[in-house]
Amino acid sequence: MENKKLTDAFCSNTARAFNYAIRLALSYFMESGVLPNEDCFLQLDERNEKTETKYFLENYLNTELTMAGAVKGKFSVTYFDSVDNKFIQIADVFSNLYYSELQTKHYTEEFRRLREIGILKGIFEFP
């Protein structure tokens, strides 16, 4: 996300902004063939969860994407402490490297290589 391009109104509710961006990203990756159009099991860092919105993202994705016919699968969302989940730790490493690349351009060659060998299949940019 390019935070500088987001409006204050959009950012006023961080849970809503996060959920909307996740929905757009999933749609993008499914439509581009990066993710298969089937059941999707999201594992998220619990820092992205607020107690009062624990089940909102799962319901939101199922309503917006599945029920609208945009995708065939069902979404389930589970929150983990990143200390206990290697997938979230790996995602954190890649997201920090990508952020650093955007800021410094120090990892351009590494990201080119990740694309070439098929590890990096796409990047969703918003807005």
Residue 40: closest CA among 80, 13, 77: 77
Q: What is the pLDDT of residues 54-104, one digit of tens each?
A: 679 999 999 999 888 888 889 999 999 999 999 999 999 999 999 999 999
Residue 52 — very low, low, confident or very high, per pLDDT cuts 50/70/90?
low
Contact 66, 75 (CB under 8 A): yes
Question: What pLDDT is attached to residue 24?
Answer: 92
pTM of the entire predicted model: 0.84
Q: What is the pLDDT of residues 4-26, one digit of tens each?
A: 899 999 999 888 888 999 999 99
Mean pLDDT, residues 43-50 taken together: 83
Burial of 65 (0-12, 13-18, 19+ CB in 10 A): buried
Domain ranges of the chain: 3-116
Q: What are the structure tokens assigned to 11, written together?
A: 């950012």
**E strands within 1-127?**
40-45, 75-80
